[in-house]
């Protein structure tokens, strides 16, 4: 705003006038001899008015005018700090003084609050005020930390002590607010630093980290922090993140190794750093002077350079006179295309971390004492509570708190390791309680690993590189701590370390995330690159050792099951019930993840770190070799050694820029210092890599061209082995949706109603309407066809009398109606939507191709046998289901009436390699029929009849007969149910089944009675002289034929004529063996020319009643291959057959 004198004021005059008047009314320096600060009459109300101005003007209107006016009025240094000094430390009962102090801090907290540069909310006022106010905050910090009149930080604690002393259950909102206010003030003082882009004109030592640590130690702030941290979760809960922030801004970027050095070691380390820096400077100047300008070559120079192709190029500058390599480099620089690059965005998170902090020896001692006390008493309570707070996403948790949490966990774990190392070097023997790893056990449990993995995946997915950096450093320190536990020599610690490593390495998703991090590095900060390479280095090293100790190491992998089903499930027809059958749904949303364990192969896992992208990441890290420490150089060396020699992927290193980098590290103008501890290792590695490169160039001359480019896996494999990788790609065949069946419904209209209701529940009314349209078109076509047929039949065709008109067997069938989907989504639904497929089948649609060969392009048809009336009824049923969908009980849907059709079980195939019977009997000891012992004698045994010779069978025919006989035997045995296997459903009654059973029993009883009656009427026969066949015949024969048959026999034996009749009546072995034989042939394969008849009664039978007899062939030779079939009389008891020929 332009003032009366022509000057411009960036703050409204009325606002400035109000603020100045309030500051004046607050008080001032007394005119008395003591020169103390004299409060105004309404000083407390003035402070509250200033707080209201800040809250309702600056914060509500998003301006900074009041803060600017307060700074220019020198309120903090001139009024607030003197007011705080008027409250003596020994005065504890002055409520007015405490209220005044509280009002002062209520003003100082918003004045020192960190300012965020939010471009969406920033206005012109922000750009005007923020640079000034940032410097003003630095002045506030200098005044608070170095104020001599009173201990301001200690006074803030005195304000909050009464609220802290109240038990947590009795604290009011005001008490909680006072505690939070004081902690925010301490946080603001700890985090204020000079802005990096603004030069601070004051003494930076007064606001440095060393001065802040000294003030916190002198004013007992460290004791308060230890008290809060050790009692976190008991007396304090919501203050966890505030305490963590204060500690974070005190210890961030502090060198932990120097923190645990004594004064002598620290001075020695500083001297070594100075010597290294001077050595680097001298080598840099030497390389520069070798080709640098002198006082005599400051004049312009232009030279002509003749290239290999004979053309000339002009170069300017006297540095082109140095050597050929410099001239070539200048020409390459002039030819290189450099696309314009945008300026890198400023990152507030990177500024938040800051540069490495240098502390003085006093600050190192004070901070080391606090860190040791914190590790002993406050580490586990604080970080366990903070982890729980982050996991439950408490309202007071900010986005940056998770990053600070993982950074502090990593920092203190490394501090604990360095403390143990320092104690070991100083030959101290601490007690077991102090030296144990129980002090940091709060971050080595399963809950912490779950939080760590979750943050690792989320930050990687959201591309939050700074949080991911903190997570990777935390992961690395956990691995190193657990490794020290395993090497401690204590059995308990070793067992715990074994358990922790098994949990860390169990999830394959963690392995995948680490491989993705190092592979996808692009242009992140150096801290990110350093953390990623460090994690990969230690992860591979520790995992390799663990996998060697645990040969049967298992990892749990998660795979998507939507895209590819298991082959075993496909073969068995088993499908997951949770899979969606609707092809219209999103596959990514409905995809599931199945977990399974598999054996871990470290060599296979290590190959994931050999691709060119991972090599490029380590190459980018190695390019900083002049600034890397020995441990960082050793890390890069171990990786390149693993790639070149352990993984045998040295081809990945055969690229021009990588070879040039390796050469410069050893022989270049800015090579590594030969006094470095890792120089010899790098020199040997570069020598071996170059040697392998030259050998490979001799074997593969094409490598000379490939050295200009990055190499894929196929190219690297070819260069390494000389042939392409042999791979077999099998395209998985798409499978249709699972077939559904109804649980209880059998009526067609009810079935259609259920399917339509299920589809309407899934918002698939468009599919139902399309099916109705298809049915309507098919019905119209069928009706038109039938009308045309009737019209043609009514017209008498004109034909000649001599011409004979062929007669038709019946009415002509209508043509097949082809169903064509209207779009791609419909075609996919016809293939993947189970409900739609079931409805199509119910209304008469069929697949044209076999179901086993179905593809998404398979054709559906309405066959000719589906009439127009059937189609009309189907349309009616669908319309009826749409108008009034079926209703069920509460909570039961239409789709609950359906289920997946179970796949038929595959029966085991018998082994046909042997000619014998199956190895295992079909029935157990309690078979279907109780048999007599085999050695029980039941009257005189009959000698078997001898067969007449039969035609010789081939081996194939015998094998066929054996299989057929075996199949029939299995069918008979499977028809019985043993007493040993009784099921609960056997007790259920079925009237129809019982009636059929008793009818069969009555029929069997009648047959047995008739057979017994006939058998009793038969006379007792004499010893016949004829030969009996395999089976008896059913026709009678004359006495002459009987004598002829007896003359051909070789030996006679007793024969009962009733036996043959009974066997014929019971349909025994002869009929079973005749099944499958062609008509006119006997069971043994003969043509039946030699037929024998015999008489069983006094009545004579006609010749045409003769039937065939088995066992005789026309050659008359005896068949020695098969034994004669011997049948026995069935046992009858009480009119029922006790056993039958099925038991044989």
Position 1065 scores a pLDDT of: 42
Mean pLDDT, residues 740-751 taken together? 85
User: 166 and 49 in one domain?
Assistant: yes
Q: How many CB atoms are closer than 10 A to CB 727?
A: 6
User: 238 and 167 in one domain?
Assistant: no
DSSP 8-64: B-SS-HHHHHHHHHHHHHHEEE-SSTT--EEE-TTHHHHHHHHHHHIIIIIIHHT--
740 bridge partner residues: 900
User: 824 and 774 in one domain?
Assistant: yes
User: 396 and 461 in one domain?
Assistant: no
User: 614 and 601 in one domain?
Assistant: no
Is residue 322 situated within a structural domain?
no
Position 224 scores a pLDDT of: 95
Q: Which of 688, 704, 726 is the endpoint of a domain?
A: 726
Q: Nearest-CA neighbor of 772 among 863, 882, 866?
A: 882
User: 417 and 452 in one domain?
Assistant: no
Of residues 720 and 166, more confidence is placed in 166
Q: Nearest-CA neighbor of 237 among 179, 294, 192?
A: 179
By the 10 Å C-beta count (0-12 exposed, 13-18 middle, 19+ buried), 471 is classed as: buried
Say whether pLDDT at 511 is over 50. Answer: yes
Position 883 scores a pLDDT of: 87
Position 490 scores a pLDDT of: 83
Is residue 970 situated within a structural domain?
no
Dihedral angle sign, alpha carbons of residues 441, 443, 447, 453: negative
Position 544 scores a pLDDT of: 92
Q: What is the pLDDT of residues 910-931, one digit of tens each?
A: 444 444 444 444 444 444 444 4
Is residue 507 situated within a structural domain?
yes
**Maximum mean pLDDT: which of 132-141, 276-285, 1124-1133:** 132-141
Q: What is the pLDDT of residues 432-486, one digit of tens each?
A: 545 568 889 899 999 999 999 999 999 999 999 999 999 999 999 999 999 999 9
CA distance 407 to 1079: 94
Q: What is the pLDDT of residues 576-619, one digit of tens each?
A: 444 444 443 444 444 445 678 888 888 899 999 999 999 999 99
CA distance 667 to 648: 26
14: Cα separation from own chain's centroid: 63
Of residues 1109 and 285, more confidence is placed in 285
Is residue 943 situated within a structural domain?
no
Q: Which of 726, 748, 769 is the endpoint of a domain?
A: 726
pLDDT band at 226 (very low <50, low <70, confident <90, very high): very high
Is residue 137 situated within a structural domain?
yes
User: 201 and 80 in one domain?
Assistant: yes
Mean pLDDT, residues 164-192 taken together? 94
User: 1011 and 1051 in one domain?
Assistant: yes
Is residue 213 situated within a structural domain?
no
Q: What is the pLDDT of residues 30-52, one digit of tens each?
A: 777 577 888 888 899 999 999 99
Q: List the domain range (segments joined by +) for residue 888.
A: 740-792+812-900
Q: Nearest-CA neighbor of 192 among 135, 126, 146, 244?
A: 135
User: 598 and 614 in one domain?
Assistant: no
Q: What is the pLDDT of residues 620-654, one digit of tens each?
A: 999 999 889 899 999 999 999 999 999 888 899 99
CA distance 479 to 472: 11
Q: Which of 151, 179, 207 is the endpoint of a domain?
A: 207
Say whether pLDDT at 390 is over 60. Answer: yes
Is residue 1106 situated within a structural domain?
yes
* Number of domains within the chain: 6
Mean pLDDT of the chain: 77
Of residues 718 and 728, more confidence is placed in 718
Mean pLDDT, residues 769-795 taken together? 88
**What are the φ and ψ backbone dihedral angles of 8, each rounded to 5 degrees?**
-110, 130
Q: Nearest-CA neighbor of 653 among 622, 681, 629?
A: 622
Position 921 scores a pLDDT of: 46
**What's the alpha-carbon Rg for the chain, to the nearest Å?**
50
Say whether pLDDT at 1128 is over 70. Answer: no
Exposed e or buried b for every residue in 933-963, given b needs 16+ CB within 10 A?
Answer: eeeeeeeeeeeebbbbbbeebeeeeeeebee
Q: What is the pLDDT of residues 265-294, one digit of tens each?
A: 888 888 888 888 888 788 777 776 766 666
User: 534 and 401 in one domain?
Assistant: no
CA distance 92 to 98: 9
Q: DSSP letter at 108?
A: H
Mean pLDDT, residues 76-105 taken together? 88
Is residue 383 situated within a structural domain?
yes
426: Cα separation from own chain's centroid: 48
Position 1039 scores a pLDDT of: 41
Position 1061 scores a pLDDT of: 42
User: 225 and 203 in one domain?
Assistant: no
User: 44 and 157 in one domain?
Assistant: yes
Mean pLDDT, residues 214-224 taken together? 95
* pTM greater than 0.75: no
Q: What is the pLDDT of residues 60-71, one digit of tens each?
A: 888 889 999 999
CA torsion, ordered 109, 114, 115, 118, to nearest 10 deg: -120
């Amino acid at each position: 705003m332009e003032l009366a004198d022509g000057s411009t004021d960036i703050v409204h005059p009325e606002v400035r006038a109000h603020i100045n008047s309030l500051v004046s009314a607050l008080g001032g320096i007394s005119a008395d001899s003591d020169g103390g600060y004299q409060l105004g009459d309404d000083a407390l109300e003035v402070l509250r008015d200033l707080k209201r101005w800040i809250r309702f003007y600056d914060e509500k209107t998003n301006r900074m005018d009041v803060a600017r006016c307060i700074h220019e009025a020198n309120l903090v240094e001139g009024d607030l700090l003197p007011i705080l000094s008027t409250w003596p430390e020994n005065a504890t009962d002055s409520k007015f003084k405490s209220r005044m102090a509280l009002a002062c801090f209520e003003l100082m907290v918003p004045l020192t609050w960190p300012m965020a540069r939010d471009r969406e909310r920033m206005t012109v006022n922000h750009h005007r005020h923020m640079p000034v106010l940032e410097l003003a905050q630095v002045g506030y910090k200098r005044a608070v930390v170095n104020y001599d009149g009173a201990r301001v930080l200690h006074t803030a604690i005195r304000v909050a002590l009464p609220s802290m002393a109240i038990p947590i259950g009795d604290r009011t909102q005001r008490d909680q607010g006072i505690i939070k206010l004081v902690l925010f003030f301490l946080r603001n003082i700890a985090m204020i630093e000079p802005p990096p882009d603004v030069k601070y004109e004051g003494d930076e030592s007064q606001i440095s980290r060393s001065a802040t640590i000294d003030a916190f130690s002198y004013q007992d702030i460290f004791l308060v922090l230890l008290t809060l941290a050790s009692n976190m979760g008991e007396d304090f809960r919501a203050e966890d993140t505030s305490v963590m922030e204060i500690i974070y801004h005190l210890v961030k970027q502090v060198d932990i190794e120097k923190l645990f050095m004594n004064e002598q070691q620290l001075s020695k380390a500083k001297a070594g750093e100075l010597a290294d820096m001077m050595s680097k400077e001298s080598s840099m100047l030497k390389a520069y002077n070798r080709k640098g300008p002198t006082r005599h070559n400051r004049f312009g120079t232009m030279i002509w350079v003749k290239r290999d192709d004979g053309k000339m190029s002009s170069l300017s500058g006297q540095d082109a006179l140095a050597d050929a390599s410099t001239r070539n480099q200048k020409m390459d620089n002039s030819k290189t295309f450099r696309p314009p690059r945008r300026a890198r965005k400023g990152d507030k998170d990177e500024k938040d971390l800051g540069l490495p902090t240098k502390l003085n020896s006093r600050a190192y001692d004070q901070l080391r004492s606090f860190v040791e006390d914190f590790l002993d008493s406050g580490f586990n309570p604080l970080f366990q509570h903070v982890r729980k707070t982050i996991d439950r996403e408490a309202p007071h948790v900010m986005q940056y708190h998770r990053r600070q949490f993982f950074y502090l966990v990593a920092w203190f774990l490394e501090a604990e390791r360095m403390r143990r190392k320092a104690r070991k070097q100083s030959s101290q023997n601490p007690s077991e309680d102090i030296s144990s790893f129980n002090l940091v056990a709060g971050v080595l449990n399963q809950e912490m690993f779950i939080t760590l993995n979750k943050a690792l995946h989320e930050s990687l997915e959201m591309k939050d590189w700074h949080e991911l950096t903190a997570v990777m450093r935390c992961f690395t320190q956990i691995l190193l701590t657990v490794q020290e536990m395993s090497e401690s020599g204590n059995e308990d610690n070793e067992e715990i370390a074994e358990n922790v490593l098994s949990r860390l390495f169990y999830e394959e998703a963690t392995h995948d995330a680490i491989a993705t991090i190092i592979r996808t590095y692009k242009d992140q900060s150096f801290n990110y690159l350093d953390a990623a390479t460090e994690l990969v280095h230690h992860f591979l090293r520790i995992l390799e050792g663990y996998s060697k100790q645990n040969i049967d190491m298992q990892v749990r992998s998660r795979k998507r099951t939507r895209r590819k089903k298991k082959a075993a499930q496909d073969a068995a027809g088993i499908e997951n019930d949770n899979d969606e059958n609707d092809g219209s749904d999103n596959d990514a949303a409905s995809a599931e993840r199945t977990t399974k364990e598999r054996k871990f192969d470290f060599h296979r896992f290590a190959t994931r770190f050999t691709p060119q992208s991972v090599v490029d990441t380590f190459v980018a890290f190695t390019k900083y070799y002049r600034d890397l420490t020995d441990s960082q150089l050793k890390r890069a060396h171990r990786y390149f050694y693993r790639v070149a020699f352990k993984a045998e992927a040295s081809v990945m290193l055969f690229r021009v820029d990588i070879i040039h980098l390796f050469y410069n590290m050893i022989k270049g103008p800015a090579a590594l210092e030969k006094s470095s501890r890792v120089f010899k290792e790098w020199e040997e590695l570069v020598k071996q890599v170059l040697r392998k490169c030259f050998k490979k160039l001799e074997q593969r001359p094409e490598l000379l061209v490939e050295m200009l480019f990055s190499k894929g896996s196929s190219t690297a494999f070819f260069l390494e082995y000389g042939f392409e990788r042999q791979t077999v790609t099998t395209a998985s065949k798409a499978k249709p949706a699972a077939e559904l069946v109804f649980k209880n419904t059998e009526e067609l209209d009810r079935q259609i109603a259920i399917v339509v209701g299920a589809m309407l529940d899934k918002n698939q009314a468009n599919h139902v309407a399309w099916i109705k349209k298809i049915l309507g078109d098919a019905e119209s076509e069928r009706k038109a066809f039938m009308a045309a047929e009737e019209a043609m039949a009514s017209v008498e065709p004109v034909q000649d009398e001599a011409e004979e008109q062929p007669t038709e067997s019946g009415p002509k069938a209508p043509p097949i109606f082809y169903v064509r989907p209207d779009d791609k989504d419909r075609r996919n639904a016809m293939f993947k939507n189970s409900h739609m497929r079931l409805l199509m089948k119910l209304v008469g649609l069929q697949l044209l191709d076999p179901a086993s060969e179905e593809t998404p392009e398979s054709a559906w048809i309405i066959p000719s046998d589906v009439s127009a009336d059937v189609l009309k009824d189907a349309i009616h049923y669908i319309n009826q289901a749409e108008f009034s969908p079926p209703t069920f009980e509460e909570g039961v849907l239409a789709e609950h009436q359906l289920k997946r059709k179970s796949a038929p079980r595959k029966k085991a195939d018998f082994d046909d390699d042997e000619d014998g019977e199956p190895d295992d009997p079909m029935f157990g000891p309690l078979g279907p029929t109780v048999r007599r012992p085999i050695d029980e004698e039941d009257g005189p045994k009959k000698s078997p009849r001898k067969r007449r010779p039969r035609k010789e069978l081939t081996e194939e025919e015998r094998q066929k007969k054996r299989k057929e006989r075996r199949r029939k035997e299995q069918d008979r045995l499977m028809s019985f149910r043993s007493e040993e296997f009784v099921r609960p459903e056997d007790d259920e009654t079925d009237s129809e089944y019982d009636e059929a059973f008793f009818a069969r029993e009555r029929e069997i009883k009648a047959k047995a009675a008739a057979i017994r009656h006939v058998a009793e009427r038969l006379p007792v026969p004499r010893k016949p002289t004829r030969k009996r066949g395999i089976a008896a015949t059913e026709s009678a024969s004359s006495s002459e034929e009987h004598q002829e048959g007896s003359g051909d026999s070789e030996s006679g034996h007793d024969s009962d004529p009733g036996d043959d009749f009974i066997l014929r009546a019971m349909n025994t072995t002869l009929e079973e063996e005749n099944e499958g034989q062609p008509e006119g042939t006997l069971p043994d394969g003969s043509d039946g020319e030699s037929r024998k008849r015999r008489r069983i009664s006094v009545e004579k039978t006609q010749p045409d009643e003769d039937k065939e007899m088995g066992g005789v062939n026309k050659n008359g030779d005896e068949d020695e291959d098969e034994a004669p079939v011997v049948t026995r009389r069935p046992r009858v008891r009480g009119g029922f057959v006790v056993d039958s020929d099925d038991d044989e």
